[in-house]
Homo-oligomer: A and B are copies of this chain.
Amino acid sequence: MKRIEIIGVEGMGEVRTGDCVGELICAACARQGIELTDEDVLVVAQKIVSKAEGRIVSLKDIRLSERARELGRELDKDPALVEVILGESRRIVRKGGRALIVETHHGFISANAGVDCSNVGMGQAALLPKDADASARTIRAEIRQRNGKAPAVIISDSFGRPWRVGTVDVAVGIAGMKSIKDERGTKDGYGYELRAAVTAIADEIAAAAELVMGKKDGVPVVIVRGCQTEKKEEGSVKELLRPAAEDLFR
């Protein structure tokens, strides 16, 4: 019987700058009686990684550019927040209403560059990790060092989408697994050759994990167990970024 389990890791506590996320995860798993395996996928909320890496800013300390002031007025948005978003962005993709959709330095197309004021403290904002693949690799190495097991690691964040209401969680950093499952060129049960069968499996795992994480339930780490992923030491979220030339929506 094909079966996947999604297990919340609880009691992680408040994560602070300089904390070792891998160590906190191992400790929380041990308290909960969970033994991690090499086949597990560990999904870690971006927010705690950003906290551990000190990617938190106080909005009152931000020096405002004229551009941020103008955009803030235009979009009815806190200009300090706008300034932080611009600092994380290569360019603005769309703006309107109160939305500022940008391409981040990582290449993500994202509302507000993933900058987020929830779950960080009043007047603060969390930025995405500078290199969330590297963050994922670090967490994976920390876990391997502590218990000899190296689950794949996905760092996740909630992204809005065009056309559809609401966010779904996607991968922003990956270590130890292939992000996509590519079945192009294989045949279905009728002999038809699949043409478009590229599945963003890392994003589906991130979405599945969010069902257990929630937005304010204090479950920033989730184990996805039983998923058929392909191991890949040098896995990267870059596999999930569509090259601009192939994208009809830039």
A interface residues, Cβ below 8 angstroms from B = 1-8, 10, 32, 94-97, 99, 101, 108-109, 111, 117-122, 158, 160-170, 179-181, 183, 186, 188-192, 194, 196-201, 203-205, 207-208, 210-212, 215-219, 224, 227, 239-242, 246-250
Contact status A192-B162, CB under 8 Å: no
Contact status A183-B5, CB under 8 Å: no
Report if A249-B162 is in contact (Cβ < 8 Å); known contacts: A122-B191, A189-B216, A211-B205.
Answer: yes
Contact status A164-B200, CB under 8 Å: yes
B5, B8, B170, B248: the one within 8 Å of A162 (CB): B248
Complex Cα gap A48–B194 (Å): 18
Q: Can you name 7 A-B pairs with beta carbons within 8 Å? A: A2-B212, A3-B6, A101-B248, A163-B242, A164-B242, A166-B199, A168-B200
Instruction: Give me the 7 closest cross-chain CB pairs, A-B, nearest first.
Output: A166-B200, A208-B208, A162-B249, A2-B8, A207-B207, A109-B163, A94-B248
Shortest distance between the CB of A101 and any CB in chain B (Å): 7
User: Residues of B contacting A218 with CB < 8 Å?
Assistant: 189
Shortest distance between the CB of A232 and any CB in chain B (Å): 15
Report if A97-B246 is in contact (Cβ < 8 Å); known contacts: A180-B166, A207-B204.
Answer: yes
Report if A204-B198 is in contact (Cβ < 8 Å); known contacts: A216-B189, A249-B163.
Answer: no
Nearest B residue to A117 by beta-carbon distance?
B192
The listed residue with most B CB atoms (<10 A of its CB), out of A117, A165, A241, is A165
User: Residues of B contacting A5 with CB < 8 Å?
Assistant: 3-6
Nearest B residue to A182 by beta-carbon distance?
B166
Complex Cα gap A152–B190 (Å): 31
Contact status B248-A164, CB under 8 Å: no
User: Residues of B contacting A200 with CB < 8 Å?
Assistant: 161, 164-168
User: Residues of B contacting A158 with CB < 8 Å?
Assistant: 199
Contact status A186-B216, CB under 8 Å: yes
User: Residues of B contacting A162 with CB < 8 Å?
Assistant: 109, 162, 242, 247-249
User: Residues of B contacting A191 with CB < 8 Å?
Assistant: 122
Shortest distance between the CB of A160 and any CB in chain B (Å): 8
Complex Cα gap A162–B101 (Å): 13
Nearest B residue to A237 by beta-carbon distance?
B164
Contact status A6-B8, CB under 8 Å: no
